[in-house]
Structure 1
C-alpha cells in the first residue's frame, strides 16, 4: 500500500525542490498541505491533482 501523506523530505524529493519552497507550498492555499501538530505533510492524491491542473 502506497503512503498517502508525504513528509517534507519526501515532498522535496517528489517535487525536486528545496525545503524553503516546499514549506511555502505546503502552507499556501493549494489544497494539498496538511498540518498535524506542528508538522506539515503533502497529501499525495491532492498534490497529483494540483500538478495536473497547474501543468503548463
Structure 2
C-alpha cells in the first residue's frame, strides 16, 4: 500500500477541533474580518506563535446558546 500524498487526504471540517482562519470562514459562512471578530468575542481564538486558530467547539456552543436566547424572545 502506497502512502498518500497530502493532497489526497480529505478531512471534514466538523471533525476538526481547531480550524485555521480560512477553514473557519468557510465553516461559519463569514468573511475574514467578521469571522475574526466573532472568534475574539466568543473566546474561541487560539494562537500558536503567529498561527491563528479557532476552536470550533467553543464557537458551536456560542451559536447554540445565542439561538436559544433568540428563540425564547420571539
TM-score bracket for the superposition, by shorter chain length? 0.7 to 0.9
Q: Aligned equivalents of 1:32 and 1:23: distance in 2?
A: 10
The structure with higher relative contact order (CA 8 Å, sep 6+) is 1
Please provide the CA RMSD for this pair. 1.7
Q: In the alignment, is residue 40 of structure 1 matched against residue 52 of structure 2?
A: yes
Which blocks of at least 5 consecutive residues in structure 1 are unaligned?
none
Rg (Cα) greater in structure:
2
Aligned length: 55
Q: Aligned equivalents of 2:59 and 2:16: distance in 1?
A: 13
Q: Aligned equivalents of 1:29 and 1:15: distance in 2?
A: 15
3-state SS of the aligned residue for 2:57? helix
- Give the number of the structure whose residues are more often helix, by fraction: 2
TM-score under structure 1 length normalisation: 0.78
Deviations 1:8-46 (A, max 9, x none): 1110011111111112222x2412111111222111111
TM-score under structure 2 length normalisation: 0.63
- Look up the match of 2:33: 20
Which blocks of at least 5 consecutive residues in structure 2 are unaligned?
1-10
